[in-house]
Amino acid sequence: MKLAKTAVLLGLVLAAHAAGTAAAAAQATKKEAVALVEKGAAVLRTEGKARMIERINAKDPAFYLNDGALYLHMRDAKTAVMLAHPANPALIGKDLLDAPDTNGKYYRREIVELAATKGKGWVDYTYKNPASGKIEPKTTYILRVGDVTLEAGIYKN
C-alpha cells in the first residue's frame, strides 16, 4: 500500500515537473523576440509589405512560434493601425492609438514615438496573457522598417 502511494506521489511530481518544463519552454525570451523581428525585417525587405502581411496573418510557422507563445505582428509606424496580427485578427485595421493598457499607459503612442525617434527598442505595458487569462506585464520589441513597425512581445513573468 505504501509503495502504491509513493508511486502515485512520484507520478504527480513528475507530471507537475513536466508541465512546468513545458511552460518554461513555451515562455519566450527577449533574445528570441529580437531574432524574430529581425528575421521578419529581412523577409519584409525581400518579399515586400503585402507578402509579409499575408504570411503573418496566415500564421506562417516562421513567424508564429510555439503555438503562439511568440509571434510577429505589424503596424503602421505613424498611425499605429494594426496591419497584420496572427493571434488576434480582430485587431487588424484598428486604430487603438488612444486606447490605454490596464494601468492607463498609452503604450501604442510610445511605440509610434520610439519608431519615429530611435527606430527600434522595447516598450513595456500590461496585457491579457492568453495562456493564463490574466493581465500581466509584457514587453515588446519594435523595429521600424520603412513605414511599418514589426513587433514581437513577451510576458515578463
Sheet holding 135-145, edge to edge: 82-84, 73-76, 148-155, 135-145, 120-128
pLDDT in single tens digits along all 157 residues of the chain: 544 443 333 333 333 333 333 343 457 899 999 999 999 999 999 999 999 999 999 999 999 999 889 999 999 999 899 999 999 999 999 999 999 999 999 999 999 999 999 999 999 999 998 888 999 999 999 999 999 999 999 998 7
In this predicted structure, what is the pLDDT of residue 12? Answer: 34
In this predicted structure, what is the pLDDT of residue 26? Answer: 57
154 φ, ψ (degrees, to nearest 5): -130, 150
d(CA 134, CA 50) in angstroms, rounded, equals: 34
How large is the C-alpha radius of gyration of the chain? 19
In this predicted structure, what is the pLDDT of residue 11? Answer: 38
At residue 41's C-alpha, the angle toward residues 43 and 152, to 5°, is 115
Beta strands 135-145; 70-71: pairing state: unpaired
**Cβ–Cβ < 8 Å for 115, 80:** no
For 118, the grid coordinates are: 530611435
Report yes or no on whether pTM surpasses 0.85: no
